[in-house]
């Protein structure tokens, strides 16, 4: 139909049949429908189309309204347009009611988490994060709520470093969270989006990871095992929005319990250490003269005084176990030697008693002979008395002689037993000192070294004499370990320590400073002399090879030699020797460098 008059006539007919009012808009629309020419949109209509398009793009939630609005505009169904717009501007009551509830929970949670102690997070740091979130997102309550929840999660998970990054990236701050579970989980909820399979799988994996993480806390907090087991069951079976919300609430309670229990454990640990410190201090006073215990107690005091480190405890345990085994053996020998001495002493006393008895009897007899002699003039009888006297005198002489020999022998044995006891006691004292030795090489350990250096430094302060501290580090030791094995490496260290000990003077000391590092203390030694001594050690090592599987292995070391400056602390001298040793390594290894 091309004739405009005919089109106009048809338009009026259609308006009447559709019972539409003959308004300009209706007329234009029907006219266009018949003629097939595009409708020239009115100003208001153009604005409405723009609004609809914006809603489609804005978010998944507004997109549906936008699309429906677009359809209503194109079919010119203005009542529907009005409906859609109202729906968008004034959402149904239940949607708006949910917000205050979520806010009260959120604020409660926020306050609780703000006051709870989180490792590595101060309250000031938390406040700072809170200020940033409030400053940036307070214009949009929904976004603000999400960001605040993200912030709380980051506190509980200890992700302090990522907090700033998250705050600065608006789209990243909230990872999907349990308390605000995404609609994709619950397809039955009104308005829910169809779940995406990949999201489902990811959520399942996350759930399983959470369950495993919870399982791993069972060992740490056995007292919470009932709660943890129930939570694990719930994590594995929670699928709906409601279930996940309930789970989130229980998890929050669980975190709180864990924090309380963790805090208790730390307090218990601190209390035990305090008790142990008191006990050790008291014991060390009680046994002030008991050298057997000095080494062990000193070691304990040192461990407790410093931050507890599992490696130090393990080292100490090894040394102590060795010392205790050796002390046990020596104690047994000492007990045996003491009981031998006791037996000897008692037999000694018995013999003395016998001797006294015998001499007492002899005196009595002599008295009776003297009376008999006084009461007779008979020569024959006097002859008999004399024979008896001679016999008794010979017997007592023999007995005295035998007793003298026996007593001498017993005395000798007693002396021997006493000497052995003394020897064992000295050895026992020395065993206690074993905790000052490095168990592998027999050189001093760090503790032993500290004591020697303190002693020598004090001596040098009283009576000014030079002291040399040399730091030796075996060259390419890692390669030796890698090619010959760790045990060969150990043997090489034992060999090195033995060569050093043999080459030094008795007044010098050698201690193991670290893995393959040794410190040598040369008292009363000038710098030139010290350098010469350490260079001599290098030559010794080229003469006394380390043998491994019948093959000669050359061990070399780099050394830094420092002369103690006036009033310098041991740590400072070591630091200078270390720098010089580092220079020796840098300039080709197997050399000795004097410290500045």
Footprint of ligand GTP on this chain (CB under 6 A)? 440, 473-479, 481, 486, 489-490, 493, 515-516, 585, 589
**Residue 355 or residue 559: which is nearer to ligand GTP going by CB?**
559
Q: How far is the CB of 547 from ligand GTP (least distance, A)?
A: 16
Strand partners, 510: 520
**Residue 381 or residue 490: which is nearer to ligand GTP going by CB?**
490
Catalytic residues: 516
Listing DSSP states for 246-306 in one string gives HHHHHHHHHHHHHHHHHHHHHHHHHHHHHHHHHHHHHHHHHTTT-HHHHHHHHHHHHHHHS
Q: How far is the CB of 424 from ligand GTP (least distance, A)?
A: 32
**Residue 363 or residue 486: which is nearer to ligand GTP going by CB?**
486
Least Cα distance to 417 among 325, 323, 348, 326 occurs for: 348
Sequence-ordered list of residues with C-beta below 8 angstroms from that of 277, at least 6 positions apart, any chain: 301, 304
Q: How far is the CB of 483 from ligand GTP (least distance, A)?
A: 11
**Residue 359 or residue 439: which is nearer to ligand GTP going by CB?**
439
| Residue 24 CB burial class (10 angstroms; 0-12, 13-18, ≥19) | exposed
Q: Report the alpha-carbon distance of residue 584 to residue 394 in Å, rounded.
A: 87
Query: Which stretches of 485-522 are DSSP H helices?
Result: 486-503
Q: Write the Ramachandran bin of 90: left for phi over 0, alpha for psi from -120 to 50, otherwise beta.
A: beta
| Residue 132 CB burial class (10 angstroms; 0-12, 13-18, ≥19) | middle
- For residues 546 and 484, is the Cβ–Cβ distance under 8 A? no
Q: Report the alpha-carbon distance of residue 565 to residue 572 in Å, rounded.
A: 9
| Chain centroid, CA 36 distance in Å | 82
Least Cα distance to 445 among 382, 388, 510 occurs for: 510
Q: How far is the CB of 161 from ligand GTP (least distance, A)?
A: 30
3-state class (DSSP) for residue 469: strand
Query: Phi and psi of 515, rounded to 5°?
Result: -45, -70
Q: Report the alpha-carbon distance of residue 439 to residue 452 in Å, rounded.
A: 18
Q: How far is the CB of 486 from ligand GTP (least distance, A)?
A: 4
Q: Report the alpha-carbon distance of residue 22 to residue 513 in Å, rounded.
A: 104
**Residue 489 or residue 560: which is nearer to ligand GTP going by CB?**
489
Q: How far is the CB of 296 from ligand GTP (least distance, A)?
A: 23
Q: What tokens were used for 314? A: 């393990």
3-state class (DSSP) for residue 523: strand
Q: How far is the CB of 591 from ligand GTP (least distance, A)?
A: 12
**Residue 315 or residue 516: which is nearer to ligand GTP going by CB?**
516
Q: Report the alpha-carbon distance of residue 69 to residue 51 in Å, rounded.
A: 9
**Residue 496 or residue 563: which is nearer to ligand GTP going by CB?**
496
Sequence-ordered list of residues with C-beta below 8 angstroms from that of 449, at least 6 positions apart, any chain: 509, 511, 513, 519, 521
Least Cα distance to 355 among 412, 402, 392 occurs for: 402
Q: How far is the CB of 489 from ligand GTP (least distance, A)?
A: 2
Q: What tokens were used for 23? A: 């308004």
Q: Report the alpha-carbon distance of residue 138 to residue 145 in Å, rounded.
A: 9
In this structure, the number of other CB atoms found within 10 A of the CB of residue 240 comes to 14
**Residue 246 or residue 481: which is nearer to ligand GTP going by CB?**
481
**Residue 473 or residue 508: which is nearer to ligand GTP going by CB?**
473
Q: What tokens were used for 261? A: 């229990």
Q: How far is the CB of 492 from ligand GTP (least distance, A)?
A: 7
Crossing angle, helix 141-156 and helix 123-137, to 10 degrees?
Answer: 160
**Residue 141 or residue 485: which is nearer to ligand GTP going by CB?**
485
**Residue 147 or residue 495: which is nearer to ligand GTP going by CB?**
495
Q: How far is the CB of 323 from ligand GTP (least distance, A)?
A: 20
DSSP 463: S
Q: How far is the CB of 494 from ligand GTP (least distance, A)?
A: 10
- For residues 554 and 474, is the Cβ–Cβ distance under 8 A? no
DSSP 189: S
């Amino acid at each position: 139909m091309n004739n405009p008059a005919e089109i106009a006539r048809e338009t009026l007919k259609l308006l009447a049949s559709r019972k539409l009012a003959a308004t300009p808009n209706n007329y234009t629309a029907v006219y266009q429908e018949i003629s097939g020419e595009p409708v020239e949109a009115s100003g208001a209509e153009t604005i409405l189309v723009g609004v609809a398009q914006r809603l489609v793009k804005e978010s998944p939630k507004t997109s549906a309204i936008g699309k429906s609005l677009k359809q209503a505009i194109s079919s010119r169904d203005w009542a529907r347009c009005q409906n859609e717009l109202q729906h968008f501007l004034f959402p149904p009551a239940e949607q708006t009611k949910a917000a205050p509830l979520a806010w009260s929970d959120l604020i409660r949670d926020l306050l609780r988490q703000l006051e709870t102690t989180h490792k590595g997070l101060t309250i000031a740091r938390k406040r700072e994060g809170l200020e940033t979130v409030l400053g940036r997102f307070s214009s949009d309550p929904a976004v603000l709520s999400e960001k605040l929840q993200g912030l709380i999660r980051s506190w509980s998970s200890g992700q302090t470093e990522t907090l700033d990054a998250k705050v600065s990236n608006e789209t990243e701050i909230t990872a999907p969270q349990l308390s605000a579970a995404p609609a994709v989980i619950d397809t039955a909820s009104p308005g829910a989006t169809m779940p995406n399979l990949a999201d489902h799988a990811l959520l399942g994996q996350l759930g399983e990871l959470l369950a495993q993480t919870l399982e791993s806390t069972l060992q740490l907090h056995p007292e919470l095992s009932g709660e943890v087991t129930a939570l694990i069951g719930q994590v594995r079976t929670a699928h709906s929005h409601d279930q996940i919300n309930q789970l989130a609430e229980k998890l929050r309670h669980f975190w709180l319990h864990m924090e309380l229990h963790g805090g208790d454990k730390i307090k218990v640990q601190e209390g035990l250490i305090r008790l142990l410190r008191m006990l050790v201090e008291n014991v060390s006073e009680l046994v002030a003269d008991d050298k057997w215990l000095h080494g062990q107690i000193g070691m304990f005091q040192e461990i407790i005084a410093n931050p507890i480190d599992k490696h130090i405890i393990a080292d100490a345990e090894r040394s102590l176990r060795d010392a205790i085994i050796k002390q046990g053996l020596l104690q047994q020998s000492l007990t045996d030697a003491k009981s031998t001495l006791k037996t000897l002493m008692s037999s000694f006393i018995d013999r003395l008693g016998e001797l006294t008895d015998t001499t007492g009897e002899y005196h009595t007899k002599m008295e009776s002979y003297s009376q008999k002699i006084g009461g007779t003039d008979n020569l024959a009888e006097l002859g008999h008395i004399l024979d008896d006297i001679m016999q008794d005198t010979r017997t007592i002489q023999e007995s005295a002689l035998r007793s003298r020999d026996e007593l001498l022998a017993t005395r000798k044995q007693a002396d021997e037993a006493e000497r052995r006891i003394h020897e064992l006691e000295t050895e026992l004292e020395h065993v206690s000192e074993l905790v000052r030795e490095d168990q592998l090489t027999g050189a001093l350990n760090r503790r032993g070294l500290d004591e020697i250096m303190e002693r020598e430094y004090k001596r040098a302060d009283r009576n000014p004499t030079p002291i040399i501290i040399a730091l030796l580090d075996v060259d390419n030791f890692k390669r030796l370990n890698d090619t010959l094995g760790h045990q060969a490496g150990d043997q090489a260290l034992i060999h090195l320590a033995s060569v050093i000990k043999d080459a030094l003077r008795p007044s010098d000391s050698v201690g193991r400073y670290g893995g393959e590092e040794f410190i040598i203390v040369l008292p009363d030694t000038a710098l030139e002399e010290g350098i010469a001594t350490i260079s001599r050690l290098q030559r010794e090592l080229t003469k006394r090879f380390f043998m491994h599987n019948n093959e000669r292995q050359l061990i070399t070391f780099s050394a830094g030699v420092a002369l103690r400056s006036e009033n310098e602390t041991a740590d400072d001298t070591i630091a200078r020797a270390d720098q010089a040793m580092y220079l020796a390594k840098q300039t080709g290894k197997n050399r000795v460098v004097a410290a500045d």
